[in-house]
Copies of this chain bind each other. A is one copy, B any other.
Amino acid sequence: MAFQVTIVGSNSAIPAYGRHHTSQYIQYKNSRYLVDCGEATQNQLKNYKLSALKINAIFISHLHGDHYLGLPGLLASMHLQGRTKALDVFGPAGLQDILVSHFKYSDTTLKYELRFHSTDEKQHEVIFETRQLTVSTIPLNHRIACMGFLFREKPHPIRFNKAKLPPNLTLAQIGSLKKGEDIYNDAGKLLYKHKDLTIPPLPQKSYAYCSDTAHIPELKHILHKVNLLYHEATFLDENELRASNTFHSTASQAARLAKNAHVNTLLLGHFSARYKDLSPLELEARKIFKESYLALEGKTFTIE
């Protein structure tokens, strides 16, 4: 289990056809993250046997109810289930206000430390990092302050080509290789070329979450070559005007961005309640970008 995204909910404002409000559960090695937490997320986590207690940090994109109204209940349930491990929550400043108010009126003092971090949705900046991963914000364009999140592995170390590595290298010479340098002797003569003794580091895997937003062609720079891109596709192109009026995107727009950003795979989500059958959204996107898939609830996408 390396790097996986499980769709907990992917419908837009009104839940419909058994589809739920937005939430995604991200597993990276031994860490678990939640992105957005619409109403009923805690029920859905149970349905899919995803542990709420193991979540290390929660990222909330914006304060429309379908993206955060499950959060107070989830936080309270962790408290009732005996969580003691601190929890980091990232989101717009108003979210803290909402949570404080809920816990005040319900007279709840959490048994664990809730560390709230308010985010600046206008910046593309790292807001969270571990030894192996960073999470940065992606400025989006929605009716209210809204941001996406980019999960990216930190650079991996250089790998040695063990078959070709001379057995008598000194620590200083190994240090030079790690820095990407060729190796010379004291007389300045080239002994080994760096590229002959090493294998390029593993690529940095990445996942980008972009919901909710109008179409932003310039996002292709931030999203350049991410492995997996989740982009909202609330509407079909036939509703492009409605999409732009409500600061949402169409499946075609999401696909165009995926193509121009040279991502590997596109996930479409945040489906309008008007669509019972979602396959036309997938078909529309695939005409532009072949590797387009529906972010259906319960599905897990692995970043290879």
Q: Could you list which residues of chain A lie within 8 angstroms of chain B, going by C-beta atoms?
A: 13-16, 20-21, 39-40, 42-43, 46, 63-66, 69-70, 72-73, 76-77, 80-81, 92, 94-95, 97-98, 101-102, 104-107, 143-144
Q: Which residues of B contact A92 (CB under 8 A)?
A: 105
Given contacts A63-B106, A64-B106, could you give 9 more A-B pairs where the C-beta distance is less than 8 Å? Answer: A13-B76, A13-B77, A15-B77, A39-B39, A65-B106, A69-B73, A98-B102, A101-B101, A107-B144
Question: Which residue of B is nearest A107, CB measured?
Answer: B144
Are A39 and B73 in contact, CB atoms less than 8 angstroms apart? yes
**Distance to closest chain B CB from A81 (angstroms):** 7
Select A40's contact among B40, B95, B97, B102, beta carbons within 8 Å. Answer: B40
Are B15 and A43 in contact, CB atoms less than 8 angstroms apart? yes
Are A65 and B76 in contact, CB atoms less than 8 angstroms apart? yes
Question: Which residue of B is nearest A273, CB measured?
Answer: B80
Q: Which residues of B contact A144 (CB under 8 A)?
A: 105-107
Q: Which residues of B contact A76 (CB under 8 A)?
A: 13, 65-66
Q: Which residues of B contact A21 (CB under 8 A)?
A: 73
Are A105 and B101 in contact, CB atoms less than 8 angstroms apart? no
**Distance to closest chain B CB from A55 (angstroms):** 16
Select A16's contact among B16, B20, B46, B72, beta carbons within 8 Å. Answer: B46
Q: How far is the CA of A16 from the CA of B52 in the complex (A)?
A: 13
Select A107's contact among B46, B102, B107, B143, beta carbons within 8 Å. Answer: B143
Given contacts A43-B20, A43-B40, A73-B65, whether A14 and B105 have CB atoms under 8 Å apart is no
Select A72's contact among B69, B77, B81, B143, beta carbons within 8 Å. Answer: B69
Q: Which residues of B contact A72 (CB under 8 A)?
A: 65, 69
Q: How far is the CA of A76 from the CA of B273 in the complex (A)?
A: 14
**Distance to closest chain B CB from A116 (angstroms):** 14
Q: How far is the CA of A39 from the CA of B73 in the complex (A)?
A: 7
Are A15 and B46 in contact, CB atoms less than 8 angstroms apart? yes
Q: Which residues of B contact A66 (CB under 8 A)?
A: 73, 76
**Distance to closest chain B CB from A74 (angstroms):** 9
Q: How far is the CA of A94 from the CA of B100 in the complex (A)?
A: 13
Q: Which of A101, A104, A144 has the most CB of B within 10 A?
A: A101
Select A80's contact among B13, B43, B104, B143, beta carbons within 8 Å. Answer: B13
Q: Which residues of B contact A81 (CB under 8 A)?
A: 14
Q: How far is the CA of A94 from the CA of B104 in the complex (A)?
A: 9
Q: Which residues of B contact A95 (CB under 8 A)?
A: 105
